[in-house]
Amino acid sequence: MKRSHIIAIVIIAVSIAALVGSLYDSSTYADLAQAMEDPGTEYHVVGVLDRSQEIIYEPSLNASLTTFTMKDLSGKTCTVHLAKAKPQDFERSERLVLIGSATENGEFHARDMLMKCPSKYNEENRIEG
């Protein structure tokens, strides 16, 4: 075999491995009810912070754990354990997207979270409009 053929085969193999790896890591959007029906499977769950419940973040005990309650768009609530420090302006967030999986005991363990915070531009438009 020529050297160029071997290089081409290696590049194709690496590309296939990257594609399979990205498919394995992908998850789908669901509500809390769907996530609770399939514990252990990773989902993206959209919701809002339940401000009536306490946010627990104790960096002296565990700097990589934030516990709070989230309400999904269908109204179901759940205790969430986020494996990260409490984000800045967390209490001001409008929407949350949790990336993680439900547990057998009805909690959600999130490995990551995206937040939609109020925009300063929206506030300016409200004042002008």
Quickly tell me which residue has 């993680």 as its tokens: 100
Q: What is the CATH number of domain 28-128?
A: 2.40.50.140
Examine the pLDDT at 120 and tell me if it is beyond 60: no
Over 90: is that where the pLDDT of 99 sits? yes
The pLDDT of residue 119: 67
How do the domains of the chain map onto residue ranges? 28-128
Averaged pLDDT, 63-78: 93
Q: In the structure encoding, which two tokens stand for residue 54, read together? A: 């306490």
18 pLDDT above the threshold of 90: no
pLDDT per residue as tens digits for the range 23-47? 655 568 889 999 999 898 999 999 9
Which pLDDT belongs to residue 24? 57
50-75 mean pLDDT: 93
Stated as kind and residue range, the H or E segment containing 100 is strand 95-102
CB 100 within 8 Å of CB 25: no
Report whether pLDDT(128) > 70. Answer: no
pLDDT of residue 10: 87
pLDDT of residue 4: 86
Q: Distance (Å, rounded) from C-alpha 40 to C-alpha 90? A: 26
